[in-house]
């Protein structure tokens, strides 16, 4: 028998390229320190970081929770994901991100949803075209603002695909002074891209975003090509990129798990 193939994450940040996440040094290299008064040799119990996770287009809330199950397990005790799907029902579920069409009526949390549409008359979205409209974007921003207010506070944001584009926009608006969106301590963007189209306040995304960011994308992603995710990463100062050999999904194998934890260790208290 041959030697089994070993999954290896490739992480890049700043000017260097590193392999084997166990030996990566990150920007803002904060480390967990003993709490004054704690017993010698003991660390105070950590509270998990709270992360608002924004689903992709045509993902239901339940479906997104299921698709992030491996990641939530990998981050258990270190980070808690609160999943949120878009406000708009997507009437045609064919081609859903990570799910097939529903053949039977489903519960509200199982209905495919989106954050906004790129056509006026059809419930569709194309991340790679230049749309004439971004129908439903303001409602999407309102949904995130309401979640931050009612379900927060959150330490960070995570977004997948269209949810990643929205998370980046939310941070840009917060940095520009929009009080609905207090800046998180960090952001994790998986299969992200720079949003296009009228109404997106695109100039806001041209300037550098000044918060720690981890950008995760696959070499064989046919939905959001890797160059799209790299372009989004370029909008963040000190961005760290984590690539994998797969496609359009949230990776959570052992190599990626270690990289996630290394990134999150900066924010442990």
170-200 confidence digits (pLDDT tens): 999 999 899 999 999 999 999 999 988 755 5
Confidence label for 106 from pLDDT (cuts 50, 70 and 90)? low
Q: What is the predicted pLDDT for the residue at 31?
A: 39
pLDDT tops 60 at residue 4: no
Q: Between these two residues, 15 and 228, which has the higher pLDDT value?
A: 228
The arithmetic mean of pLDDT across residues 238-251, rounded, is 95
Phi/psi for 144 (5° steps) reads -65, -45
Which of 118, 221, 229, 244 is catalytic? The answer is 221
Percentage of the chain modeled with pLDDT above 70: 73
pLDDT tops 90 at residue 83: yes
Q: Is the pTM of this model over 0.85?
A: no
The least confident of 8-22, 53-67, 132-146, 244-258 is 8-22
Which of 60, 161, 213, 229 is catalytic? The answer is 161
Domains and CATH numbers, the chain: 49-88+109-265 (3.40.50.1820)
SS3 content of the chain, % helix, strand, coil (to 5): 30, 20, 55
Apex 231 CA angle, 230 and 234, nearest 5: 85
The arithmetic mean of pLDDT across residues 239-264, rounded, is 94
3-state secondary structure of 156: strand
Classify each residue of 83-112 as buried b or exposed e, where b means 16 or more C-beta atoms within 10 Å of its C-beta.
Answer: bbbbbbebeebeebbbbeeeeeeeeeeebb
Q: What is the predicted pLDDT for the residue at 32?
A: 38
Report the chain's mean pLDDT, rounded to a whole number. Answer: 81
221 is catalytic: yes
Alpha-carbon distance 267 to 269, whole Å? Answer: 6
88 is catalytic: no
Report which of 174, 195, 186 is spatially closest to residue 127, judged by C-alpha positions.
195
pLDDT tops 80 at residue 50: yes
Percentage of the chain modeled with pLDDT above 90: 61
Chain-centre distance for alpha carbon 114 = 15
Q: What is the predicted pLDDT for the residue at 249?
A: 95
Calculate helix-pair angle for 162-175, 226-233, nearest 10 degrees: 10
Q: Between these two residues, 249 and 41, which has the higher pLDDT value?
A: 249
The arithmetic mean of pLDDT across residues 43-50, rounded, is 75
Which of 88, 215, 244, 248 is catalytic? The answer is 248
């Amino acid at each position: 028998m041959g030697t089994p193939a070993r999954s290896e994450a490739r992480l890049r940040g700043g000017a260097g390229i590193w392999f084997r996440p166990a030996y990566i040094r990150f920007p803002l290299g904060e480390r967990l320190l003993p709490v004054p008064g704690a017993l010698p040799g003991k660390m105070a119990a950590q509270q998990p970081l709270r992360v608002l996770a924004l689903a992709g287009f045509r993902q239901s809330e339940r479906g997104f929770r299921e698709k992030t199950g491996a990641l939530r397990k990998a981050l258990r005790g270190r980070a808690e994901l609160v999943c949120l799907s878009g406000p708009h029902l997507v009437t045609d579920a064919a081609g859903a991100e990570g799910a097939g069409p529903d053949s039977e009526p489903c519960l509200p949390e199982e209905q495919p949803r989106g954050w906004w549409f790129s056509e006026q008359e059809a419930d569709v979205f194309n991340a790679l075209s230049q749309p004439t409209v971004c129908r439903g974007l303001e409602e999407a921003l309102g949904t995130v603002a309401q979640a931050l207010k009612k379900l927060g506070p959150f330490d960070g944001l995570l977004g997948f695909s269209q949810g990643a584009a929205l998370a980046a926009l939310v941070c840009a608006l917060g940095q520009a002074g929009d009080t609905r969106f207090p800046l998180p301590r960090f952001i994790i963007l998986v299969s992200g891209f720079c949003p296009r189209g009228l109404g997106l306040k695109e100039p806001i995304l041209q300037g550098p975003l000044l918060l720690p960011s981890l950008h995760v994308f696959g070499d064989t992603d046919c939905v959001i090509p890797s160059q799209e995710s790299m372009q989004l990463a370029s909008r963040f100062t000190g961005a760290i990129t984590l690539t994998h050999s797969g496609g359009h999904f949230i990776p959570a194998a052992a190599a990626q798990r270690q990289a996630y934890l290394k990134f999150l260790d900066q924010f442990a208290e």
